[in-house]
Structures are given as C-alpha cells and as structure tokens.
Chain A
Amino acid sequence: MENQQLKSSQQLVEEWVHSFGDDLFRWALYKTSDREIAEDLVQETFLAAYKSVGSFKEQSNPKTWIFRILNNKIIDHYRKASKAVFVDINDPHSVISKSFNKQFDKSDNWKLTGYEQKWESETHLLDDPDFNKILENCIEDLPPAWKISVMSKYFLEKDAQEICKELGITSSNYWQVQHRAKILLKKCIEKKWFNNA
C-alpha cells in the first residue's frame, strides 16, 4: 500500500515536470538571467516539491503551489549571494575591497583619471549597443555573488526596502553594495570603453 502511494507521488511530480517545467524555467531564467542557475533552481524546486508532495492539497492548484516553491528558491539564491558579498565588504583584503579602495586616495577622494570629461562628453551611451555590450561584459567580470547582488534589484522588481526585507539585510548594507559595485563597473567601463574609444 505504501509502495502504491510512493509511486503515485512520483508519477504526479513527473507529470508536473512535463507540464510546468518550461514555464518554471522561463520564470527562473527571467529572474536570474543565467541558464545554469535557472536549471539548478528548477531542479531543486521539483525535488523539494516531491519531498513535500504530502502537504500538497489535491484541491489547490499545483502550478501555483510549485511556483511558490520556485520563488522561495529564487529569494534564497539572492540571499546566499548577498551574504557572500558582505564577507567581501567586511574583509579589507578581499579583491573587491582592494580594487574599490584603489579608486580613492589617502584622504578618500578620487584619484582623478582624466576620464571624467570623457563621461561628460558622451550623451547617447544608453542607446549605444557597443556600450551595452561592454557594460554586460563588465558585469560578467564581477565575482558571481556580486553580479547576482547587483542584478537583484532589477530582477526582483521590488523597491529597495522590500528587497532588504526579503534578503534580510539593512538598507545601509544594500547601498554599500550598490556603491561598491557601481564604482567597480565605472572603473571597468573606463578601461574597456573610453580607453579604446
């Protein structure tokens, strides 16, 4: 009898893989913009669904139920990244801290590079596909957790306060990450864009 029960929950989840797999994947891909991560999240979602299928009520909508599991996995993914980012921020010897601090002099003012005017003279960066490509590459070059944290605000489509609440961070944690990441992206763009322009 128990065997019968076990088999049917396997079959049930198997059916879900076929009927909701693509939708879940698209959602995860949209929320993370990373195929590998999206596939992993969907896989974890189905395994978690299988483990807790006993708590799934037949009368509720399986798609809603399983999307809720996926959304929790997505938040978890961002939460883990933001933890890793704070390890970097609190460590003055981390690659990120060093490279961030290098942009400023001993009294914490800019080390001027001469790129300041170049930024000023560019007025159509937003519409320039080459600039978009370079920025994309610069984001790719960030350590994975940083990339994920920078993108979180665009992917989670929530305002900063809500994101902080979901990720369990303070708002000062949040803008510290934005600040450092943007300064690193700025430096990368100056190197790859203005240097060759």
Chain B
Amino acid sequence: MKKWMNLILLSCKRATELIEKQHVEPLTSKESMQLQIHSAMCSACKSYKKQSAVLDETIAKMVKPESESNEVLSSKTKETIIKKINEE
C-alpha cells in the first residue's frame, strides 16, 4: 500500500530531492504536480523546504566579501615559493 502510494504521492526522499532539483532545473509537470500534492499532505517535507532555504541564506551570508579582507600571504610561504622556484 505504502509503495503504491509513493508512486503517486512520492516518498519523502524523492520529494525533498525535487525540492532541491527545482533550484537547478525546472520540474516536469508531472513532478511538479506530485510535489505539490506531497507537500500539501506532508508537513515534514513542507518544513524541509523552509529549512533548506534557511540553510542557503545562512551559508550565503557567511561568505564574506573579499574587499573586507586585509589578509596577506605569510612571508614564510613566500619564501617557500621562491625557494621552490630556485630549486626547479
């Protein structure tokens, strides 16, 4: 019964896969309908969609703009590079 239901309604594994897929390529009309029905019935997957968006936004914010950085290449590494070039 459950397997048969999955065919029409998708498993949660497949539904969450499609949630990620739609960020990359459009779903087929069948997939999109299946996902809609599944999400309407499954609160855990509906919640996953939000969680996935929270993860995306938080990670995107973590990546700091380059201009804010005043990092330098350590003089030790510079010396190593120069030494290696001279050994070549």
Question: What is the minimal beta-carbon distance from B16 to any residue of chain A, in angstroms?
Answer: 6
Could you tell me if A26 and B66 are in contact, using CB atoms closer than 8 angstroms? yes
Q: Are B77 and A179 in contact (CB under 8 A)?
A: no
Interface size bracket, B side: 35 or more
Query: Is B85 an interface residue, CB under 8 A from the partner?
Result: yes
Q: Which of A12-20, A58-66, A80-88 contacts B (4 or more CB under 8 A)?
A: A12-20
Contact yes or no, B58 A125, CB < 8 A: yes
Any A CB within 8 A of the CB of B69: yes
Shortest Cβ gap from A103 to chain B (Å): 8
Q: Which residue of B lies closest to A42 (CB)?
A: B73
Q: Would you list which residues of chain A between 101 and 144 have a CB under 8 Å from chain B? A: 104, 107-110, 112, 116, 119-120, 125-126, 131-132, 135-136, 139
Number of A residues whose C-beta is below 8 Å from B?
55
Query: CB of B63 within 8 A of chain A?
Result: yes
Q: Which of A22-50 contact B (CB under 8 A)?
A: 22, 24-27, 29-30, 33, 39, 42-43, 46-47, 50
Which A residues fall within an 8 A CB radius of B? Answer: 10, 13-14, 17-18, 21-22, 24-27, 29-30, 33, 39, 42-43, 46-47, 50-51, 104, 107-110, 112, 116, 119-120, 125-126, 131-132, 135-136, 139, 150-151, 154-155, 160-161, 164, 171-172, 174-176, 178-179, 182-183, 185-186
